[in-house]
Amino acid sequence: MKKITLLLLIFLTGTISTQAQQAIFGEVPIVSPEINDDQSVTFRIKAPLANEVRLMGDWMPPVGWAPGSAELTKDENGIWTYTTESLDSDLYTYSFSVDSVRTIDPSNPHVIRDVANLFNVFIIGDGKGDNYKVTDVPHGSVTRRWYESPGLDMQRRITIYTPPGYENSEEEYPVLYLLHGAGGDEEAWIALGRTSQILDNLIADGKAEPMIVVMTNGNVDQQAAPGEAPAGYVTPQFMLPSTMNGKFIETFPDVIRFVESEYRVVADKAHRAIAGLSMGGFHTMHISRFHPDTFDYVALFSAAIMPRDESASPVFADIKGTLETQMNNGYELYWIGIGKSDFLFEANTQYRAMLDEMGMEYEYMETEGGHTWTNWRVYLTEIAPLLFK
Amino acid sequence: MKKITLLLLIFLTGTISTQAQQAIFGEVPIVSPEINDDQSVTFRIKAPLANEVRLMGDWMPPVGWAPGSAELTKDENGIWTYTTESLDSDLYTYSFSVDSVRTIDPSNPHVIRDVANLFNVFIIGDGKGDNYKVTDVPHGSVTRRWYESPGLDMQRRITIYTPPGYENSEEEYPVLYLLHGAGGDEEAWIALGRTSQILDNLIADGKAEPMIVVMTNGNVDQQAAPGEAPAGYVTPQFMLPSTMNGKFIETFPDVIRFVESEYRVVADKAHRAIAGLSMGGFHTMHISRFHPDTFDYVALFSAAIMPRDESASPVFADIKGTLETQMNNGYELYWIGIGKSDFLFEANTQYRAMLDEMGMEYEYMETEGGHTWTNWRVYLTEIAPLLFK
């Protein structure tokens, strides 16, 4: 039978088997990843001509600064296989190296971009991973739109989560501003951070208040994520110029003004929260003390606590004094989370010592692991239930 | 210098060079794709151990049903290179085959999923490709949200483009319903189709009226795109059961009701358009005649015109009679576009002959090429300026 006839047959019957379709398009049906009953995971890739295939998974302990990896084994059909130990419930990312060429899994089109690299993704449920799944609960809406930042003289892209029911109520909602790290942009939290899934699930469980979550782009030289701006399909950079020079902190009121004029929100301190990871933790710390009567809820995730050149921007003047003002103005929550092996652990310890000395209260969470999205998803899941209560 | 100190230095200075960063993370800076001044494109991939590297690009003529491909050449550093002829301005997709393993370009994180495969993407400007670029014009908003379909007894995900200024006006807008093909979902038109870029650009040029564009999921057994539904990270299928059994056509009023109750629209025939590609062209043809006084604008892109089992659904009864009703009710535009080498060309020719015989008027566009997104982006760019005028 000619292929064209077969394709017409597919259209006509609409029920032809997956195998037959794959036969038409010349594909071998390889299942990868396969999550086994014992929560081990089997990976497969067809590479008959390869001499070595390795798997890099974010559950493997890194080797120095290199990712951990494991070797796959080849069978007589040229299919390479590797099965993990049982894994804890979580969201995991991975990629392959085939004869030293980094590649995603050709059998798994589900990927997330982290800075300049794509990683395949899978979730193991029955535990923490369930927080990150799309489940059968009411869903919020996720909008990518543009706002004017007069302070930066720029149209800028922003990602906004509105909770289930927002469109059909008259209610006014609180707002969490959620900031990404170096190399990230307005796509980072929604994709890598699973914000909409975490919020949908926590709200459905009655654990978190319905809230709007605003995911900005913290790179002040950039209008939008790579590929989403007039700059075109540029290569994402780990660190752009000017991201930590104070300009984002100075002009953050542009974001708040936009949100509070465009959304049904309670526009007061008691209904504003700000949280950020790494560079976004740096932004969060400085924004919340530089605008010291704006947020009742502040959360630093693996924050890049580090000295700044005070001459670069007025925002870096009198850090201790403005923290004291923030403390004296009062707040409901100042939250610090960090992993024990994070390269910023020591800097955060010193920062906590300073807060202790000042008598500035905070809640503290110390987790295993380092500077990872695995931790940041946990931190978001931890703090969301503490907000606006 | 220790790596950890270097990383701190990056944070501190915020200006360290790309090269130094890449040195830290052990990457070699390979630029791929590189668009040259003469609109040729150079592709590069480091694969020192490979014996053969091929490039598959959607600008290459297919070989039967297989994609066209070209061989790359290896240099002494293990970097494989290939440079195309000059390419016309357009959006292009490509992938590599490294010793028979299909892989995306490790230097290019910009990808689009088409059914179960990811393809890298780039745009050549100064012509048609400019329609598909993010340009410095006012931008519409793109929202992913969920609606209730009582007819399918399901929460379903939907993608909605609202034009620039929608949020800050009292105006009521017309609506284009834009339907995907087999293997697609509510992500297809926004990602592969460049809907928001095409509309932003046409509206800014005064060529198209500001309109809302509604991108549904036409697979009635599916709540949402793979990975976006409680079904989890399932493998996308070219053809799901029940996609062409009439159920989507019967229940399409669920979509219209949702849109017209949730958005500021002019809820009449003169302000409704429907268009779809391939299976979505099939849906468009049947929806517009089964609900024969609903749309003043109808456009079929490479439509899957084919016989149906009339007993499967009441929507397939009396096709000619309902087309006549649609014709007698009147409409502003009935548009048919198809590529000369499309496997559905003959079926569309027969359909046009039937319309001619009935005296049912339509506009017709015949393009080079086949059943491709290259054509469907052109068709959207063609019809959008014809709507609501």
Helix, strand, coil percent values for chain B (each to nearest 5): 30, 25, 45
- pTM confidence score: 0.94
Q: Is the pLDDT of residue B8 over 60?
A: no
Instruction: Using alpha carbons, select from A191, A203, A190, A193 the residue that is nearest to residue A139.
Output: A203
pLDDT tens track for A50-88: 999 999 999 999 888 788 999 999 999 999 999 999 999
Location of structure tokens 């509105």: A162
The reported pLDDT for the residue numbered A379 is 98
| Nearest chain B Cα distance for residue A331, angstroms | 28
The reported pLDDT for the residue numbered A172 is 98
pLDDT mean across residues, chain A:
93
Segment 215-234 of chain A within 8 Å of chain B by CB = 224, 226-230, 232-233
Please give the CATH superfamily to which domain B31-130 belongs. Answer: Immunoglobulins (2.60.40.10)
Contacts of A2 (CB under 8 A, 6+ apart): none
Q: pLDDT-derived band of residue B27, with 50, 70 and 90 as boundaries?
A: low
Which of B239, B282, B305 is the best substitution to test chain A (most A C-beta atoms within 10 A)?
Answer: B239
Contacts of A318 (CB under 8 A, 6+ apart): none
Instruction: Using alpha carbons, select from A58, A202, A85 the residue that is nearest to residue A138.
Output: A202
Two structure tokens written together for A243 = 């991201």
CB B89 within 8 A of CB B125: yes
Which of B103, B131, B190, B201 is the best substitution to test chain A (most A C-beta atoms within 10 A)?
Answer: B103
Q: Side chain identity at A339, as an amino acid letter?
A: G
Q: Is the pLDDT of residue B7 over 80?
A: no
| Nearest chain A Cα distance for residue B360, angstroms | 25
pLDDT tens track for B119-175: 999 999 999 999 999 999 999 999 999 999 999 999 999 999 999 999 999 999 999
Q: Is the pLDDT of residue A148 over 70?
A: yes
pLDDT tens track for A221-252: 999 999 999 999 999 998 887 888 899 999 99
pLDDT tens track for A273-302: 999 999 999 999 999 999 999 999 999 999
Q: Which residues of A touch B220 (CB under 8 A)?
A: none
Q: Which residue of A has its CA nearest to B79?
A: A101
Measured distance CA(B107)–CA(A117) in Å, rounded: 8
* Burial status of residue B98 (CB atoms within 10 A of its CB: 0-12, 13-18, 19 or more): buried
CA B193 to each of CA A330, B9, B65, B184: distance values in angstroms, whole numbers, following the listed order: 50, 42, 22, 11
Which of A239, A240, A345, A346 is the best substitution to test chain B (most B C-beta atoms within 10 A)?
Answer: A239
Question: Is A261 within 8 Å of chain B by CB?
Answer: no
Q: Which residues of B touch A155 (CB under 8 A)?
A: 136, 138-139
The reported pLDDT for the residue numbered A22 is 43
The reported pLDDT for the residue numbered A19 is 41
Q: Please indicate whether residue B238 or residue B97 has the higher confidence score (pLDDT).
A: B97
Measured distance CA(A108)–CA(A88) in Å, rounded: 21
User: Which residues make up the CATH 2.60.40.10 domain(s) of chain B?
Assistant: 31-130
The reported pLDDT for the residue numbered A239 is 80
CB pairs under 8 A between A and B: 215
Contact B142 A143 (CB under 8 A): yes
CB A69 within 8 A of CB A60: yes
Instruction: Using alpha carbons, select from A120, A111, A109, A17 the residue that is nearest to residue B238.
Output: A17
The reported pLDDT for the residue numbered A88 is 98
Please give the CATH superfamily to which domain A134-386 belongs. Answer: Alpha/Beta hydrolase fold, catalytic domain (3.40.50.1820)
Measured distance CA(B157)–CA(B148) in Å, rounded: 9
Measured distance CA(A253)–CA(A244) in Å, rounded: 17
Query: Which of A51, A101, A117 minimises the CB distance to B47?
Result: A101
Q: pLDDT-derived band of residue A2, with 50, 70 and 90 as boundaries?
A: very low
Question: Is B146 within 8 Å of chain A by CB?
Answer: yes
Question: Is A134 within 8 Å of chain B by CB?
Answer: yes
The reported pLDDT for the residue numbered A11 is 55
Q: Is the pLDDT of residue B17 over 50?
A: no
| Percent of chain A at pLDDT exceeding 90 | 87
| Nearest chain B Cα distance for residue A387, angstroms | 24
CA A314 to each of CA A94, A309, A318: distance values in angstroms, whole numbers, following the listed order: 42, 10, 9
| Nearest chain B Cα distance for residue A229, angstroms | 6
The reported pLDDT for the residue numbered A307 is 77
Q: Which residues of A touch B316 (CB under 8 A)?
A: none
- Collapsing DSSP states into helix, strand and coil, what is residue A43? strand
The reported pLDDT for the residue numbered A7 is 52
Pick left, alpha or beta for residue B308 (phi over 0 → left; psi -120 to 50 → alpha; otherwise beta): beta
The reported pLDDT for the residue numbered A27 is 53
Q: Is the pLDDT of residue B334 over 90?
A: yes
Contact B14 A235 (CB under 8 A): no
The reported pLDDT for the residue numbered B19 is 41
Q: Which residues of B touch A111 (CB under 8 A)?
A: 111, 118
Greatest CA span in chain B, whole angstroms?
A: 81
CB A135 within 8 A of CB B228: no
β partners of residue B43:
B82
Contacts of B275 (CB under 8 A, 6+ apart): B176, B177, B178, B179, B284, B297, B298, B299, B300, B301, B335, B379, B380, B383
| Nearest chain A Cα distance for residue B357, angstroms | 25
Q: Does the CA dihedral A164-A170-A176-A179 come out positive or negative?
A: positive
Location of structure tokens 């609900």: B291
* Burial status of residue B42 (CB atoms within 10 A of its CB: 0-12, 13-18, 19 or more): middle
Q: Which residues of A touch B226 (CB under 8 A)?
A: 109-110
Query: Which of B142, B227, B306 minimises the CB distance to A8?
Result: B306
Contacts of B136 (CB under 8 A, 6+ apart): A155, A230
Q: Which residue stretches of chain B are H helix? A: 3-13, 18-24, 188-191, 195-204, 247-250, 252-262, 279-290, 319-329, 345-358, 373-383
Question: Is A194 within 8 Å of chain B by CB?
Answer: no
Q: Is the pLDDT of residue A116 over 90?
A: yes
Measured distance CA(B21)–CA(B10) in Å, rounded: 8
Contact A21 B224 (CB under 8 A): no
Q: pLDDT-derived band of residue B3, with 50, 70 and 90 as boundaries?
A: very low
Measured distance CA(A187)–CA(A165) in Å, rounded: 23
Two structure tokens written together for A80 = 């390479």
Contact A238 B48 (CB under 8 A): no
Two structure tokens written together for B364 = 């017709």
Question: Is B104 within 8 Å of chain A by CB?
Answer: yes
Q: Is the pLDDT of residue A28 over 80?
A: no
Q: Which residue of B has its CA nearest to A122?
A: B233
User: Which residues make up the CATH 3.40.50.1820 domain(s) of chain B?
Assistant: 134-386
Q: Which residue of B has its CA nearest to A236?
A: B109
